[in-house]
Amino acid sequence: MNTTHDVAVIGAGIVGAAIARELSGHQLSVALLDARDDVGDGTSKANTAILHTGFDAKPGTLESAMVSRGYRLLSEYARHTGIPIEHTGAILVAWDNEQLDALPGLRDKAVANGYRHCEIIDAAEVYRQIPHLGPGALGGLTVPDESIICTWTVNLALATDAVHRGTTLLRGHRVESVDVGPEFTTLHTTAGPVTSRWVVNAAGLGADVVDARFGFERFTVTPRRGELIVYDKLARRLVDKIVLPVPTARGKGVLVSPTIYGNVMLGPTSEDLQDRTATGTSEAGFEFLLDKGHKLMPDLLAEEVTATYSGLRAAIDHGDYLVAPDAAQRYLLVGGIRSTGLTAGMAIAEHVVNELRSAGLDLVPKHELPEPPRMPNLGEAFIRPYQDADRIAADPAYGKIVCFCERVTAGELRDACRSPIPPADLDGLRRRTRVMNGRCQGFFCGAEVQEFLDATPTGAVHARTTHPEEIAL
């Protein structure tokens, strides 16, 4: 039976989930669709996981406004939901005179973006703050409020909150064609039709394809692959803040950063591709990163590598976020949201709601909303279940470690599989718990973890629909 919704949001990444959550704060029937079998299984899962201040955005752009506002919104939301954040700060390092001369301009740009805390420091201070940095640095620019965050938990929190508020989550619903009628639009998906009065396109890498189905040819998404190397937790002693290059027009370049999980990350590369599914790593990418890493922090290359991965960013031929309503078709595009979308997502959602209101959608706030979900902590700097004696005493499952590399317990696996949005596969369980994410990459615990997933009625379910009335916390 096909239910007609007030708004259908295509794409359950961070931006789409944030939009669905914001819309569900109003008296609307909202559907959140994704082509994949889990939320956050596309671009959002492979973000560099930095909570940006927006200091280096182009002043006056929508991106600049959204990142600045989003930083504040997400920081506050994390406080209520338990999304782990570490306020490490960052330093942009200048390696030649041209980069050194660019630092005052970057500081002025930060001020133009409303961020006034950057300071230019000399080489001696750079090495005092980052003693393991490679030789040759000439100076730096501090950004004390740049932070690291868990991108997986952000996405899951927003999607869970949306479902709690009444959103119907439709996983495994790839949009194949669109019929725009006088009152309703029918999205023909791989799992059946979805009918809605309004449609919001937040499809990320597929946003231009969906946009074309509404008759537009206004932008093209180019998948930009970023490959990264993740070093073992023993490397964390080398760096306690984000080490940034002086940015170029192509991107922020290769960085060295601690992660919320206690590792150290080197990357990303930046390679434009044609294949929107090419998330594999490459020999050329690793050679490039190792060469950069040797200059940035040679001691890091002596550490053990825990994992390598790559993600695709939705680069477009447009200099800013592209948010464009079409009142005649009751359609709104949210395109070209680059890696800053992690930070900007909640602000973009606010902006989208305002755009929809201006375009004619009747928006009446709900009188009462549920409290935001309290998310499991995946951050290494905070107390985790295996360390919590009181929690273990109340439920011994939190004292039974299944994944010894990442110290993930049976209680956490059980909770993830019984959660409002359960994982569809092992990768989904990994993003919810960190299981199989350590040194052995699941060699030791993989079979037992699979048993957890297989034994859970809601686990490994493809094309699953999550309705708010199904939730039992």
HSE (CB half, 13 Å, CA atoms) of 231? 24
Q: What is the pLDDT of residue 412?
A: 97
Structure-model confidence comparison of residues 453 and 106, the more confident one: 106
User: What pLDDT does 469 receive?
Assistant: 47
How does DSSP assign 93-161, residue by residue? EE-SHHHHHHHHHHHHHHHHTT----EEEEHHHHHHH-TTSPTT--EEEEETT-EEE-HHHHHHHHHHH
pLDDT above 90 for 318: no
Whether residue 462 is contained in a domain is answered as no
Q: Which pLDDT value is given to residue 471?
A: 40
Average pLDDT over every residue of 329-333: 98
Q: What angle do CA 19, 453, 259 make, to 5 degrees?
A: 55
221 has pLDDT over 60: yes
- Residue where a domain terminates, one of 295, 313, 331: 313
At residue 27, the pLDDT reads: 97
CATH of the domain at 82: 3.50.50.60
Beta bridge partners of 464: none
228 in the same domain as 357: no
Residue 367's pLDDT band (cuts 50, 70, 90): very high
**Residue (of 294, 310, 314) closest to 302 by Cα position:** 294
Bond before 423 cis per omega within 30 degrees: no
Kindly report, residue by residue over 81-95, the tens digit of the pLDDT: 999 999 999 999 999
Of the three residues 259, 281, 313, the one that is the final residue of a domain is 313
Q: Is the pLDDT of residue 423 over 70?
A: yes
Tell me what the pLDDT averaged over the chain comes to: 93
Identify the domain containing residue 404 by its residue range.
Answer: 385-455
Q: Name the pLDDT band for 281 (thresholds 50, 70, 90).
A: confident
Q: What CATH number has the domain bearing residue 128?
A: 3.30.9.10
CA distance 51 to 75: 9
| Structural domains counted in the chain | 3
Long-range contacts of 382-387 (CB under 8 A, 24+ apart): 382/84, 385/409, 385/411, 385/412
Is 68 found in the same domain as 158? yes
Instruction: Give the residues across from 147 on adjacent strands.
Output: 51
pLDDT at position 248, please? 60
Considering the domain architecture, whether residues 52 and 181 belong to the same structural domain is answered as yes
Residue type, 133: L
Could you tell me which residue, 299 or 226, shows the higher pLDDT?
299
Are 104 and 193 in a shared domain?
no
Residues 178 and 288 in one domain: no
User: What band does 252 get if pLDDT is binned at 50, 70 and 90?
Assistant: low
Percent of the chain residues past pLDDT 90, beyond the cut: 84
Cα–Cα dist 121/104, whole Å: 11
* Overall size of the chain counted in residues: 473
Whether residues 72 and 5 share a domain: the answer is yes
